[in-house]
Amino acid sequence: MSGGVDSSVAAALLIQQGFDVVGCFMRLGSPGEDIGNATLGHRGCCSISDADDARGVASTLDIPFYALNFADDFEQIIQYFEREYHAGRTPNPCVRCNDWLKFGKLHDYAEGIGATWVASGHHARIDRSGAFPRLRRSADLRKDQSYVLFGAGGLPGKRTRRLDQLIFPIGELSKEEVRTHAKRFGLGVHAKPDSQEICFVPDDDYAGLLERRHPERFEQGRMLDADGNELATHEGHQHYTIGQRRRLGVAVGHPLYVVQKNPASNTVTLGPREALAAMGCTAAEASWHIEPSKDWIECTAQVRAHGESLAAQVRSTGKDRIEVEFTQHQEAAAAGQAVVCYEDDLVLCGGWIDRVERAS
């Protein structure tokens, strides 16, 4: 229970369905508190006010409530975020938090208290009609969160299948229906806005976080065009992400985008939008939700949590690795992001991009 409307309604619906529910809040830190020089914000999913909201909902629902101190474990999420940016990649800490904490450490806690299931307020569904559970998109595609849950997969006997223990009670509901249920259950969070930020970067200044932790890793470098000509200087490649257009400090009479970063030379390459088009990618740490195939499988592929899923094909290329070819070029796919492949609305597989093949 994060203190938001989704997880609150999820708990209420489970009680209505006859489950014996225990509410758990992951305490990752407090607003204004520094965890390794990362200051937690007020608008994330782990603040004191969020804990108070979750505790209030648990009281309304008359269920036990525990605030679990995961602050020490949360530091590994911040360290991962830091490593990826310094290496020139584009990290997704929310997916890692799901994998390592929400559906990792929290599952261990559930087993410790004898719980059969772990439920969350994610907008996703689990299809249990086959031989084993499959992850499915939410009924409300505008709020679908299956992309950030791909790591909960894995085939029986090959890795722990968290899907066997997971329930997503609001997966069939739209956001409007969730808020209607919250009012019906008398939950005070029915109008609470959704969290949109990375909780340990409340001002969305990623480079500022990194510089506070290790200022010595920021050095002045060169901004180049596609031919290697210097356009300007910058104060560290960490200030830029692939696909970025604004705040480049370069004016050439037409739009430019960040198309490449080289942390070894501390250079940032700018180019036209069409230079961002990707033909394919390879990914590591793959999770398959079906039996892996060395033959190409037709699918759609998504490279950002709120990005469009476009026509593609995917295949296994070895232990925990996949290759994806995009039938429709993906824009701004970048190393460090997750790529998730779908068969209609069912997740086929996903992995962490380590190489992108550009169209030009």
What is the set of active-site residues? Answer: 97, 199
DSSP per-residue string spanning 286-349: EEESS---SS-EEEEEE-STTSPPEEEEEEEEETTEEEEEEEEEEES--TTSEEEEEETTEEEE
Tokens standing for residue 10:
């999820």
Per DSSP (E only), the strands in 128-266 are 134-137, 166-167, 221-224, 230-234, 257-262
Cβ-proximal residues to 16 (8 Å cutoff; 6+ apart), any chain? none
On whether the CB atoms of residues 316 and 283 are closer than 8 A, the answer is no
Give the H/E segment covering residue 74.
helix 71-86
Do the strands 221-224 and 34-35 form a parallel or antiparallel pair, or are they unpaired? unpaired
Phi, psi dihedrals of residue 13, rounded to the nearest 5°:
-65, -40
What residue type is assigned to position 27 of the chain?
A: R
What does each C-alpha distance from 311 to 152, 288, 335 come to in angstroms?
Answer: 23, 18, 20
d(CA 98, CA 111): 17
CB 8 within 8 A of CB 52: no
Q: CA–CA separation, 270 vs 147, rounded Å?
A: 29
CA angle 85, 90, 94 (to 5 degrees): 100
Q: CA gyration radius for the chain?
A: 21
Phi and psi torsions of 338, nearest 5°: -90, 145
Hunting for tokens 């994610």 — which residue is that? 122
Q: Dihedrals φ, ψ of 100, to 5°? A: -90, -35
